[in-house]
A and B are shown apart, each in its own frame.
Chain A
Amino acid sequence: MKKFSALVIVLCMVFTLCACGSSQSRKADDGITIGVVYKQSGNAYFQAGITGFQKAADELGFTFMHDGPDDSSNDGQERIIRNYIDQGVDVLCISANDAAGLVDVCSEARKAGILVLSWDAKVDPSGRDIDIEPASAKVIGLTQLEFIAEQMGYEGQLAIVSAGATAPNQNLWISFIEEALKTDSKYANIDYVGVAYGDDDYTKSYDVMKALIDKYPDLKGVIVPTTNGAPAVAKCIIDEGKDATLKMTGLTLAHDMAEYIHGGVAPATFLWNPIELGYVSSYVAVAAKKGDFKFEAGQTIEVPGFEGLTVEVSDDGGLILYLNKLNKFDDTTVDAWIDAL
């Protein structure tokens, strides 16, 4: 009796669980299925990317699933990728938490005949077919530097508040910024104080910015190349009463930063359009799956609204496709973007 009642309860429990889930299940049809994997669930930036995939799906008629790990971990992404392989997706679009860490599972997927695209954050060349990036790292880094330098009048102290110390994209951009600061005579009067890491976390970025202000009270400019850190830094500058002398820029969403951009603490910020990134990624995925697009340098692809998308060989030896479009959010343009980004 005891055991029976236990079993009944377990049964009820499991059935309720499944009932919750069945509404979410997606049926597989004959068309192309794309599995989109991003860095972390509950991240507004990737929501925008998914919007792009959705837009392309409506036009091209493929189905797609999307998920990211709860904890932005490498093995969480591996888990999701394996699930997608089992579900029989045709193409994987991955924004990797760790370029090197996913090589094995991606190679397995390719062996199973799945095309592996990385978008937004690359997978190392041995694990991917192609990487799709908004703009070259150099352009992204130097655009921010040039803007903030102009705001600072090409002199004074400059700092960077980055995401995690392990973030590959940010580290690449920062390396170009640092190189330019060292070599370009235009920036000779800028006193670069270094990088602080906010771990892509609001609280930590805020605290780290506060510490920076305490240590360098004469700070004139901050670059924040991460969407989660930027509003924290802006808020901190205002809270510390430095917004008259200290300006910031960075890569941000419009929605997060609109008030700060209007308020003047961040005269302008930049971002590519993650919607477009998702949109182009899906076009590439579908074209490649249908055989209209081959993975080799010099190939071009037609995407509505884009011109001259050409595959190049990137610095790491793999193939890469740049959108080369960077949006600037300033006092006049930001409001147009609020609902989208």
Chain B
Amino acid sequence: MKRKSPLKAYSWEFMLVGLLVVLWIIFEIKDSSRGRDVFNFARMMSGMSVYMLYSFMALGMALILGMGDIDISVGASATLSAAVMGVLYRSMTSGGMANGPAFAIAILACLATGCLCGFLNGFLITRFRELFPMIVTLGTMLFFRGFCYLFLGGETLKFENDATWALLKKLYNGSIEIGSVSFPTIILWFLGFAAVFYIFLHKMSGGRKLFAIGENRISSRCSGVNVDRFELLMFVVCGFMAAVSALFYIGCASATVRADAMQGYEMYAIAVAVLGGFSTSGGKGNIIGVVLSVLIFGVMKKGLGTLFGFSDSTVNLAVGIVLILASLLPNIVQYISHKKQLKKQQTDIQAFPSGKP
């Protein structure tokens, strides 16, 4: 087996960087043809936060996709986590509890709910192997969403705008000044989480296990990996990341939650993870790619929206096309290089008709 050159191993990531640079250049050109300076690094960074909400889900989704599974209930479990958090906080504070501890407990409850949702998914998937994860999580998605409606009903749950909630808003909306550029804290949080995921996935045995399962579930079971338990754990992590997204969402939506919040986020998360190089058939992917693709989606949506005046649905059209082309591209490239190889082989054979090279 030939050892992969590092360049080749990261070729997808290089392509993403290329895409990012190309987008950037185009937007820069477009921007300079206008009167206002809309597109620059500082503005881009400060405007990113609203496109980052699903990035945490995308990290969790990357784990799931790496194993060859899929989880389309993340959006609903995030909403459920936020709902539980809100309901609990309200009942505790109205019961006379101080804001600080109630807030802490509510956040813990939110994260715990996310884990629980993930656990339920993982449990059902590992116990009901006949069903595709897509089907199970489809069911749980309806189930979680139903729970949200049960908890919240039709109202918009609004938190009192006190100091504790201002903290959460700051978490989402706050920024750290580095030089002249203010980085939203949400990006730093995301990079932090991404680093942890990167180490886990690419530097520790857990990541090898995960990709082995994605490659071939049976053979990794035979080689002594407790596949069911590992898979369950990964679903819990995915649920946890959904709950993290929920925290940031509350910050985004002026500290409110509704039962229909975050609908369709699962699809964004999947799109980001797939553009990042993870495939739904499992076994490959790189967290760096996910980070890059979060940036690409953010820059693309922001740029198309502000510079080109694309409407929201047209931006979605662009996202759909990029998604398909990005998945098609490596296959075409592979096909071409394969053809070339075949041709080369043929000419080799023709050059040596005796068959001896």
Contacts and interface: CB of A to CB of B under 8 A. Distances in A.
- Do A and B interact? yes
A7 B15 contact: yes
Given A9-B329, A79-B51, A164-B260, A15 B26 contact: yes
Contacts of A41: 311-313
Given A3-B15, A17-B321, A74-B261, A10 B256 contact: no
A8 to B, nearest CB: 10
A244 interface: no
Nearest to A73: B263
Interface residues of B, number: 62
Contacts of A240: none
B74 to A, nearest CB: 15
A104 B254 contact: yes
Given A105-B254, A166-B154, A171-B154, A27 B14 contact: no
A167 B156 CA distance: 9
Interface string B315-348: 0101001100100011011001100000000000
A24 interface: yes
Contacts of A105: 254
A331 B256 CA distance: 44
B50 A74 contact: no
A147 B321 CA distance: 50
Interface in A69-115: 69-71, 73-76, 78-80, 82-83, 86-88, 98-105
Contacts, number: 156
B26 A14 contact: yes
A26 interface: yes
Contacts of A166: 154-156, 258-260
A74 B264 CA distance: 13
Interface string B1-39: 000000000010011001100110010001000111010
B22 A11 contact: yes
A6 B329 contact: yes
Nearest to B253: A101
B35 A86 contact: no
Contacts of B260: 73, 164, 166
Contacts of A75: 50, 53, 249, 252-253, 261-262
A80 B305 CA distance: 8
B87 to A, nearest CB: 16
A102 B254 CA distance: 6
Contacts of A7: 15, 18, 22
